[in-house]
Structure 1
Amino acid sequence: MNARLGDFGLAKLCDLGNDPQTSHVAGTLGYMAPELARAGKANTSTDIYAFGIFMLEVACGRKPIKTRAPPEEAFLADWITDCWDKGDILATIDKRLEKRFVGQQAKLVLKLGLLCSHPVAAARPSMSSVISYLDGIASLPNDLSSVIKAREFPSNEADALNELTAERNTVASLIITEAFVSHGR
């Protein structure tokens, strides 16, 4: 009865020198980072991509790729981005929740899922940053929409990450209310 979620650890094996000997790329379509599909090398950033897609899937209650959907809804991340652009990102939340969710928290999960699943590896946050965002210790950048839509970043990955996270390391203000304490997140 020990549940396990996906392959969010394959990169850690590779980082520790335990490179699995495979002759082809293995992964689940929809969760594979673009660079993993191209180069076949897993790393921490490819795990963060898969985790981002997983967050989107849980929040929306659907698979990352929906083959029998209208073209604008076929790819989960693209559909969420389109709804966000139209000012209705919460329209993507799983209908089975029947409005039983906290809007700000749902928006955070959706936006963070989009950031984690960014097609450019340099734009993805570290897992410690993801936890800081979810815990309310740090806030997402004000220009998040433009970061998510950007397809080019500095060639030096370290510079790109520093630029992207400079604004994120601010402490978010948090007002604890009775509803928050009694119902949790």
Structure 2
Amino acid sequence: MAPELARTGKANTSTDIYAFGIFMLEVACGRKPIEPQMAPEEAFLADWITDCWDKGDSLATIDKRLGKRFVGQQAELVLKLGLLCSHVVTAARPSMSSVISYLDGVASLPEDLSSVVKAREFPAGSNEVDAPNELTVERNTVPSLTITEAFVSHGR
């Protein structure tokens, strides 16, 4: 669930893009977004993928059941695009038309993608349907959220 959807209860295009990003990561890696029984560094899928990417081994996160039946560049694109779409800051998420352009090979991901994925503040003026007005905060920031083991381990 997109962080802003949990906070406001209002879905919009940006929350759909977030969900699509998480979906891409789930399919590519063959696991759920949160796996509390995993080691702490692997419990959160997006964080684990980012850590592996930083180590130069993002393909290690690809579902082992695929064996070698995937194209490395395509798998890496799906992982990076999944991370970008599921960014916690709505302003960092691409539009769906941009996502399609990336997947079709018409456009290339930003050169500074790693810094974009790790950034926690962006200027206002995202692709959200409900654009902020002058009375709202001038920047989009990531709210702090603590998830406890009890919350995660009980499921739905």
TM-score by length of structure 1 reads 0.67
The equivalent residue for 1:61 is 30
The equivalent residue for 2:66 is 97
Q: Is residue 83 of structure 1 aligned with residue 69 of structure 2?
A: no
TM-score by length of structure 2 reads 0.80
- What is the CA–CA distance in structure 1 between the aligned matches of 2:124 and 2:92, rounded to whole Å? 11
CA deviation vs aligned residue, 1:111-157 (integer Å, no higher than 9, x gap): 00000000000100011110000000000011000000000001333
State which of 114, 124, 137 in structure 2 corresponds to 1:155. Answer: 124
In the alignment, structure 2 segments of 5+ residues that lack a partner are 128-156
Secondary structure at the aligned position of 2:47 is classed as helix
Report deviation, 1:67: 1.3
The equivalent residue for 2:76 is 107
Q: Which has the higher contact order (CA 8 A, sep 6+)?
A: 2
- What is the CA–CA distance in structure 1 between the aligned matches of 2:103 and 2:125, rounded to whole Å? 27
Q: Which of the two has higher C-alpha Rg? A: 1
CA deviation vs aligned residue, 1:53-89 (integer Å, no higher than 9, x gap): 0000000000111010011000100000000000000
Identity, % of aligned positions: 86
Secondary structure at the aligned position of 1:153 is classed as strand
Letter in 2 for 1:107: E
1:1-185 to 2 correspondences below 5 Å:
32-157=1-126
RMSD: 0.8
Letter in 2 for 1:74: A
Secondary structure at the aligned position of 2:121 is classed as coil
